[in-house]
Structure 1
Amino acid sequence: MNPRYEYRALLACDIAGSAGRGEQRLQEIRSVLRSALSGAMGGAELDERDFAYVDTGDGCQLVAPAGLPKARLLVPLLPELNSRIHAHNRRAAPEVRMRVRVAAHAGEIRVDPEGGVSGAPFEALARLLDSAALRQAALTGTSGTPVAAILSHHFHEDAVGHGHEGLDADAFSEAAVQVKEYAATAWLWYPGSPVGPRVDAGRGTDAGSGSGSCTGSGQGSGMRAAAREPGTVEQLVRAEGRSTVFAVGTHGVQNIHESKRS
């Protein structure tokens, strides 16, 4: 039987700063990510059995079933994932707290008869996940918003540009990505941030028993950023005209990233 080529939506997750924690802690946070992602998919009414799951060591790649709308990989999935990881961080020891980078892309991939998947879209997905823009966004979010996401321009154009409920175009910040030979325009999003999805001030991630479920609505993710805790990275996100300026400072060091908006 020959391989087939299918257009699929892709999502990748990576645990920031996973190196150097030791094997036992790495296995613990890997298990937390897998459990949080599984719970988030359930909360977003996605059947994880329909997805191909590829373990990448300190993260994973998800291959969505053919025909799944791209927007379903954003809202309410990402707010759900953010809520669960935030709940874990609130009760976990510092050495096993987590921040997670997420990248989303879509394209035609090769599906082997045995179920293996490959193709150029996975290369672009990996570059997005490793981009400086996403790493910066992961630091910029408050302790209550441990998930930062980046969308390829193609994914953003289809999922956000079509006006799906809960996805406001103003909630995304344009960023230039260049990793090795890959150079492209992408779009940043992290829940609860000034450039994140619209929030409902009446609900927060601290409520409940720890599952942290929150379902997106026409007003956005139903989340709010937690108050900044002592010792966390300072944050400034300011929109001026058609650009967004990021300033992240810790121990007196400040990095500025500016991206023009189209």
Structure 2
Amino acid sequence: MLSRDESAFRRAVLVAVDVMGYGQGDDRQQMDVQRDLLTVLQWASDGAGVSRERWDRHPEGDGELAVLPPDVPERRVVGQFVQQLSAALTRRNEDDRSGPRLRLRLAIHHGVVAPADNGLAGQGVVAVKRLVDCAPVRAALRSSGADLAVVVSAQVFNEMIAQRHTTLRPADFRQVHVEVKEYTAPAWIWVPGIDPAVLDLPADRRDQPQEAAAAAATQPKDRPRQPASATPTIHNEFHETVTAENATFGIRY
């Protein structure tokens, strides 16, 4: 656990998890969900070889925020732990069919954190909390029907997953734009066993002006109208008798 005597901020792997639909259960169901949440997290950490006993854990009833010690390999958390959590949820939901399935959102970020008087401080904490609550990961879990939806920060994706340092395939992720309260940033979503292209996610509002501009750029532009040419006219006035053999009145072409 982090000591509040440590004044220096440090970089760490941060993990946030939240249960879908927790508030819909009655009091006893909520107690069962909290117990089962801790159970599947323990199964996953044991299976991945990243013991939770040394994590700095902050329980939140239907969720948890955890800061991992520096000697825990980030690649193992992003890869094996995530996959083991998916397997643990499948096991739990198959073993207990008496109530609602346990379905989770998981966020992973690598950022700055420090102990504070009422918990944790640092932009890393803000980021991982906003990620786990963002609309795209909520929609991914809801629309896919899966037991788990994972969202990772752009830093984690670019430095760990895209570089193939983990057991997850970059092609199985989908990029989204996260906008929660004051936090705006790109992120990447993974749902086990689901083609990311078919996920029903909210429209990326950040891209809409760009799309509109691109569409306008492809439309043919109207040519500027030329001013109409004046038709030449000739006006003749005759006040006496005029003899006009072989004469032309007007303009000869």
Query: TM range, normalised to the smaller chain?
Result: 0.7 to 0.9
For 1:70, the equivalent position in structure 2 comes to: 74
Name the structure where helix makes up a greater proportion of residues. Answer: 2
**TM, length-normalised to structure 2:** 0.73
Q: 2:95 aligns with which of 91, 95, 104?
A: 91
Residue 154 of structure 1 corresponds to which residue in structure 2? 155
State the partner residue of 1:27. 31
The one-letter code of the counterpart of 2:164 is G
1:107 aligns with 2:111: yes
Distance 1:165 1:85, change over 3 A: closer
Structure of higher CA gyration radius: 2
Q: Which residue of structure 2 lines up, in the alignment, with residue 224 of structure 1? A: none
CA 1:16/1:188 → structure 2, altered by over 3 Å: closer, same or farther? same
- Provide the residue aligned with 2:187 in structure 1: 186
**What letter is aligned with 1:49?**
E
| CA shift digits 1:47-83 (9 cap, x unpaired) | 2122111101211112111143322222211121111
Higher mean C-alpha deviation, range 171-180 or range 85-94? 85-94
What corresponds to 2:57 in structure 1?
53
CA shift in 2, pair 1:18/1:139, >3 Å: same
| In structure 1, C-alpha distance between the alignment counterparts of 2:166 and 2:57, rounded to whole Å | 27
Question: Partners in 2 of 1:165 and 1:185 — Cα distance?
Answer: 20
| Alpha-carbon distance, 1:84 to partner | 1.4
Q: From the superposition, tell whether residues 69 and 91 of structure 1 become closer, same or farther in structure 2 (CA, over 3 Å).
A: closer
Q: Cα offset for 1:2?
A: 4.8
The one of 126, 131, 136 equivalent to 2:134 is: 131
RMSD: 2.3
Structure 1 residues 76-122: Cα deviation after superposition (integer angstroms, max 9, x where no partner): 1112111111222223346432110001111111136x995322211
Write the distance in 2 (CA, Å) between the matches of 1:24 and 1:72: 35
**More strand per residue: 1 or 2?**
1
In structure 2, relative to structure 1, the CA distance for the partners of 1:182 and 1:35 (3 Å cut) is same
In structure 2, the residue corresponding to 1:75 is in which secondary structure?
helix
Alpha-carbon displacement from aligned partner over 1:223-262 (angstroms, at most 9, x marks no partner) = xxxxxxxxxxxxxx44xxxxxxx33xxxxxxx764698xx
Q: Give the Cα–Cα distance (whole angstroms) in 2 for the partners of residues 168 and 160 of structure 1.
A: 7
CA change 1:165–1:153 in 2 (3 A) is closer
Residue aligned with 2:24, SS: coil
TM-score between the two structures when normalised by the length of structure 1: 0.70
Structure 1 runs of 4+ aligned residues shifted over 3 Å read 93-96, 114-117, 255-260
Structure 1 residues 258 and 36: alpha-carbon distance in aligned structure 2, compared to 1, 3 A threshold? same
Would you say the 8 A contact 2:12–2:110 is kept in 1? yes
Q: Which residue matches 1:79?
A: 83
Structure 2, unmatched stretches of 5+, are 208-253
Instruction: Quote the residue 2:17 is aligned against.
Output: 13
Given that 2:50 and 2:72 are in contact with CA atoms closer than 8 Å, whether structure 1 keeps it comes out as no
